[in-house]
Amino acid sequence: MIEILTEILNALLLLFLVVCAIAVAQIRDMLSAVIVFASFGLIMAIVWQQLSAPDVAMVEAALGTGVTTLLLIAAISKTRRTE
Partner 1 sequence: MVPFIQVYGIYIILHGHLSPGGGFSGGAIFGASLVLIALSFNLEVGARQISHATASVLESGGALGFIITGLVAVALGGNYLANQAAGFPMGEAGELFSAGAIFIITAFLGIKVASTIVTLFYNIIEGDDKSGDAH
Question: Which lies closer to partner 1 via its Cβ, residue 23 or residue 76?
Answer: 76
> C-alpha distances in angstroms, 65 versus 23, 24, 49, 69, 72?
16, 14, 15, 6, 11
Least distance from C-beta 73 to partner 1, angstroms? 8
Query: Coil, strand or helix: which one is 22?
Result: helix
Residue of 49, 59, 19 lying closest to 37 (CA atoms): 19
Distance in Å, CB of 28 to partner 1, minimum: 23
Choose the binding region for partner 1 from 6-14, 23-31, 33-41, 53-61 (rule: CB under 8 A). 53-61
Contacts with partner 1, residue ranges (CB under 8 A): 54-55, 57-59, 62-63, 66-67, 70-71, 73-75, 77-78
